[in-house]
Amino acid sequence: MTERSALQGVAWIFGSTAGVELLTVAMGGDLPRILIRFVVLTILFAFLLKGYGFARHVLGALYFAGGLYALFAGLSNAADSIALLVVIPFGLCSFAAAWFFFRSKALRALTGSA
């Protein structure tokens, strides 16, 4: 994986997260909580793009925790169609994003923590 494809992976993760956050706002989510979460993630992504290795670890941990939360929340409301269509798939995607942040050699090289 090259540095360019690592950056594309980061862009896809950030874009999908922004899309789910917008969907949450459109469905009547708690706007201040969503804005705080989005600002924190934006700051961490900016640190990641500047080459800070801690941001990669923090993002990986946050996406892993978010994936656990989404899966438990989705499975507890499995009768709800929103849980099946949005929450559970986003939980699985969060696990994939966490794996990418922890295991990508190109991302490690980009952040200087190889």
pLDDT of residue 105: 85
CB burial readout 59-76, b (16+ within 10 A) else e: bbebbbebbeebbeebee
Which residue reads 């994939």 in tokens?
Answer: 96
pLDDT of residue 42: 92
pLDDT at 23 over 90: no
pLDDT of residue 20: 85
Under DSSP, is residue 113 helix (H, G, I), strand (E, B) or coil? coil
pLDDT at 25 over 60: yes
pLDDT band at 113 (very low <50, low <70, confident <90, very high): low
Q: Using one digit for the tens of pLDDT, what is the confidence trace for 34-58?
A: 999 999 999 999 999 898 989 999 9
The more confident residue out of 23 and 36 is: 36
pLDDT of residue 61: 96
